[in-house]
Amino acid sequence: MRMTSQIGRWSSALALTLALTLAPGAQAKTKDKDAEASREVPYASTYKAYPGRPTALVGATVYDGRGGRIDNGTVLFAEGKVVAVGASDLAIPEGYDRIDGTGKFVTPGVIDAHSHLGDYASPGVDANSDGNEATAPTTPDVWAEHSVWPQDPGFSRALANGGVTSLLILPGSANLMGGRSVMLKNVPAITVQQMKFPGAPYSLKMACGENPKRVYGSRGMKPSTRMGNFAVNRQTWIDAKAYMEGDHEKRDLAKETLEGVLKGEILVQNHCYRAEEMALVLDMAKEAGYKVTTFHHAVESYKIADMLREADVCSAVWADWYGFKMEAYDGIPENAALIAKEGACVVIHSDDQNGIQRLNQAAAKAQASGRRMGIEIPDAQVISWFTYNAAKAAGIAEKTGSLEEGKMADVVLWNGDPLSVYTRPEKVWIDGAMLFDATNPRMRPVSDFELGQPGEGDVK
């Protein structure tokens, strides 16, 4: 990409993320039912919640992540779970630490449904560039988790500045089928298994448009056009179906992922900017027999928001990115608000190690752009764009993304209105364990990479 190289050549200061809009592959479960029952889940999560104390957050404005707002609310959590959410008269059981949230706000932990942290880690040197297996147009056999470097300092910034408690790590978008995603809990860890979100479904990352046709077309390979993109995808789905119906004698990692999609066990996260391509993808999904969960980047969702509502597909979008590539030319800041107005699902995503630190701010900008054209979206609903809706887009909404009894105690206490530029997370809990506290310099993770380096432990 010409632009990326121009800017990259000049300046570390002007980091573009276009490269990240490229992608890799996935893999699926075995279909042999007996073998499935007996085989252990490979690369299983070893995440264990850290110890927390029973905690009562009182006096704050509480957004539950599903459109609810309680002024002067009380949030109780213990043993990693939300115990109760209510008004100021909610009784606080004995043994709870009481934290005064007067003048502050509480939301569910922030969730980024589109991140490459760990796969495109900082420092962004070639040796850390592990997000695109750009060696074949479809690589559903690769798994993003096998590239994750848990020492990426980006995780700590997302936690401290963004209140991010869970994030979906996707392969890039170089390939039509880039590979399997991995859902992570944003806990500092030595191994990726220690971060893996227990019980989260896998997703297959797919990509429309410019990236796959450019990457492979420039090598004189198929696909070199958008019609080539679809031809390769359709044949791949047909082959996957044949595999699914076969005897599975010889395992095929790529087709295992695709079979998982066709069986509805693996979600589809589809990078797709333009309206007409999204519409074509929906028909391809119908033809092949799978469901698209979320269109990512989706800068033209506003043109087909009614269609996306009917198809029950989320749009994961930026607030105001546009123009960096041809397929982003029609991006407008009102996109999210226009999608919401039609009743379709909005997710604010980052695709960026800096943007992930300010998903709340991006949502606030998108809300304001809507308001100026007469679309009023309540604050409590805007909060859902980076909490519950993001959880839904990643298939974990049953477990987290909202403050409801029994769900994971992933919670952010903000030092002000989270939709204000002047606000930052004050405390962040993941499964009830406090993992960030802005008022305590020791409660700030420092990755191995940053240890002993300039700025170690600094307020970042």
Partner 1 sequence: MSRILAFAASLAAIAAPLAASAQDLAVTNATLATGDGSEPVEGATVLVQGGKVVAAGVGVAVPAGVETVDGTGKWVTPGIFAAVSDMGLWDVQAVGDSNDLSADKSPFNASLDVVPALNPANEHIAVSREGGVTRASVTPFPGNAIFAGQGALIDLGADAALVDTPRAFQLVVLGEGGAREAGGSRMAAHVTLRNALREAKALAGGAASVERASDALLTHADAVALAPVLSGEQALYVHVERASDIRAVLALKSEFPALKLVLIGASEGWMVASEIAASGVPVLTMPLRDLPEQFEVLGATQSNVGRMVQAGVKVGIGLFAGDNQPRRATEQAGNLVALTKLPGASGLTWAQAFAAITSIPAEISGMGGKEGVLAPGAVGDVVIWDGDPLELSSAPEAVYIDGVKQPFDSHQARLRERYKDLDRTYLPKAYDW
Report in angstroms how near the CB of residue 285 gets to partner 1 at its nearest: 22
| Closest to partner 1 by CB, 227 or 329 | 329
x/- letters, 439..458, toward partner 1 (CB under 8 A):
x-x-------xx--xxx--x
- Asked, as a colleague might, if the bond just before 223 is cis with ω within 30 of 0, I would say yes
Measured from the CB atom, is 205 or 303 closer to partner 1? 303
Q: Which region among 75-83, 185-193, 281-289, 334-342 touches partner 1 (by CB under 8 A)?
A: 334-342
Task: Scan residues 130-159 and list those touching partner 1 (CB under 8 A).
Answer: 153-154, 157
* Contacts (CB under 8 A) with partner 1, residues 298-327: 302-306, 320-326
Q: For partner 1, which residue of 136, 221, 253, 438 counts as binding (CB under 8 A)?
A: 438
Please report how close the Cβ of residue 435 comes to partner 1 at its closest, in angstroms.
17
Query: From the CB of 372, what's the least distance to partner 1, in Å?
Result: 6
How many CA atoms lie within 13 Å of 109's alpha carbon, on the beta-carbon side? 36
| 50, 128, 299, 197: CA torsion to nearest 10 | -20
Phi and psi at residue 33, to the nearest 5°: -65, -40
* DSSP code of residue 368: H
Per DSSP, the residues of 321-353 read --SSSGGGTT--TTHHHHHHHTT--EEE--SST
Among 67, 198, 416, 445, binds partner 1 (CB under 8 A): 416
Residue window 85-124: x/- pattern of binding to partner 1, with contact defined by CB under 8 A:
-------------------------------------xxx
Restricting to residues 355-394, which ones interact with partner 1 according to CB under 8 A?
357-358, 361, 364-365, 367-369, 371-373
Binding-site size, partner 1 (CB under 8 A):
78
444, 427 Cβ separation under 8 angstroms: no
Whole-angstrom CA distances from 152 to 106, 165, 246, 308, 311 are: 27, 15, 41, 35, 36
Q: In this chain, which stretch among 3-11, 132-140, 225-233, 263-271 interacts with partner 1, using CB under 8 A?
A: 3-11
Identity of the residue, 56 or 362, whose beta carbon is nearer to partner 1 in the bound complex = 362
Nearer to partner 1, 49 or 412 (CB): 412
CA distance linking residue 150 with residue 190, whole number of Å: 6
CA distance 57 to 301: 38
Q: Which of 2, 33, 250, 442 binds partner 1 (CB under 8 A)?
A: 2
**224, 420, 433, 445: residue in contact with partner 1 (rule CB under 8 A):** 420
Instruction: Check residue 259 and give left, alpha or beta (phi > 0: left; psi -120 to 50: alpha).
Output: alpha
Comparing CB distances to partner 1, the nearer of 150 and 179 is 150
Nearer to partner 1 by Cβ, of 21 and 203: the residue is: 21
Token pair, residue 428, equals: 């962040």
Near partner 1 in 172-231, by CB under 8 A: 210
Pairing assessment for the beta strands 203-207 and 164-169 based on DSSP bridges: unpaired
φ/ψ of 325, rounded to 5, equals: -145, 165
Judged by CB under 8 A, the residue of 4, 165, 186, 389 near partner 1 is 4
Which SS3 state, helix, strand or coil, does residue 260 take?
A: helix
> From residue 424, how far is each of 61, 101, 365, 382, 416 by CA, in Å?
15, 14, 16, 17, 7
Specify whether the CB–CB gap between 27 and 142 falls below 8 A. yes
Does residue number 330 form part of the binding site for partner 1 (CB under 8 A)?
yes
Return the number of the residue (10 or 94) whose C-beta is nearest partner 1: 10
Residue 270 near partner 1 by CB under 8 A: no
